[in-house]
Amino acid sequence: MTPILLVPKRIEITLEEIQNNAYENARIYKEKTKSFHDRMITKKELNVGDKVLLYHSHLKLFPGKLCSHWIGPFVFSNVFPYSAVEITGLETKYSRSMGIA
């Protein structure tokens, strides 16, 4: 009786196939991450008359213990579709239109 030798076939993978697999895996990862992020977003209902504070991002350049990053209070004077609002200041005559992300 002669023994049977099991020799695996040599699998040749080209660089292009490896790149395609990596691209496909990255696409799948991005889709899963995006769907998870989209599920965590909560809808906010904006109404005329709501009081809000604005985040003053320019103060990031000058950090300090006593600097407040928030300015306001403001009131929504008009709410447009797609999260666009118009605000007016309570103590000042400040008025501004902006989009809310």
**Whole-number pLDDT of residue 63:** 63
Q: How far apart are CA 75 and CA 51, in angstroms?
A: 5
Model confidence pLDDT, tens digit, residues 85-94: 888 887 776 6
Model confidence pLDDT, tens digit, residues 39-94: 998 877 888 898 988 887 765 666 666 667 778 788 888 888 877 888 888 777 66
Model confidence pLDDT, tens digit, residues 13-43: 788 888 999 999 999 999 999 999 999 988 7
Residue pair 46/100 in contact (Cβ under 8 Å)? The answer is: yes
